[in-house]
């Protein structure tokens, strides 16, 4: 498992600070990611919700957990693993405007290090699963809202 450098934090995010921007990636040497179902290349934000039983969480009520996903803008197919198993990916795309990194987004890639900028608020621990070359995850000093799901 990679070392995690930086503090991160667990402050709840304010609704007013949430952004609906699409990820802005460095397109210099990129190839388009298209829907595996229909080939369309525009994705929209969506949310899935999971219910955790109070018997598991120990809380007075069941807990609803929202999970942000990217959906194909054409057919609605959910693309949870858009970057999965792209071994050639050794540099993290520019994450300008990204608040949440989706589940398994970079799993199985050849990333050697990852830097989490100020704007990324949360990601799932599975984001970097299977990244065997990844040794360091650096979290921006100024990022005090970051947390793991």
Which of 38, 65 has the CB closer to Zn ion?
38
Phi, psi for 16 (deg, rounded to 5): -70, -20
Cα–Cα distance measured from residue 139 to residue 145, given in angstroms and rounded to the nearest whole number: 11
33 binds Zn ion (CB under 5 A): no
40 binds Zn ion (CB under 5 A): yes
Say which residues have a Cβ less than 8 Å from residue 50's Cβ, sequence separation at least 6: 64, 65, 67
29 phi-psi bin (left φ>0, alpha ψ -120 to 50, beta other): alpha
User: How many of the other CB atoms lie within 10 Å of CB of 93?
Assistant: 16
147 binds Zn ion (CB under 5 A): no
35 binds Zn ion (CB under 5 A): yes
Which of 35, 95 has the CB closer to Zn ion?
35
Number of residues that bind Zn ion (CB under 5 A): 8
Which span sits near Zn ion by CB under 5 A: 51-59, 69-77, 101-109, 136-144?
A: 69-77
The contact set with Zn ion (CB under 5 A) reads 35, 37-38, 40, 72, 74-75, 77
């Amino acid at each position: 498992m990679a070392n995690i450098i930086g503090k991160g934090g667990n402050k709840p995010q304010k609704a007013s600070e949430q952004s609906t921007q699409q990820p802005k990636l460095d397109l210099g040497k990129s190839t388009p990611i298209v829907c595996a179902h229909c080939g369309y290349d525009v994705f929209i934000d969506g949310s899935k919700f999971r219910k955790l039983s109070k018997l598991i969480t120990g809380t007075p009520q069941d807990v609803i957990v929202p999970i942000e996903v990217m959906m194909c803008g054409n057919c609605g197919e959910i693309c949870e693993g858009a970057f999965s198993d792209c071994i050639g990916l050794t540099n993290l795309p520019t994450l300008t405007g990204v608040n949440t990194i989706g589940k398994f987004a970079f799993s199985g890639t050849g990333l050697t290090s990852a830097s989490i900028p100020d704007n990324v608020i949360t990601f799932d621990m599975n984001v970097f699963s299977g990244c065997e070359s990844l040794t360091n995850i650096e979290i921006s000093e100024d990022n005090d809202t970051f947390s793991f799901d």
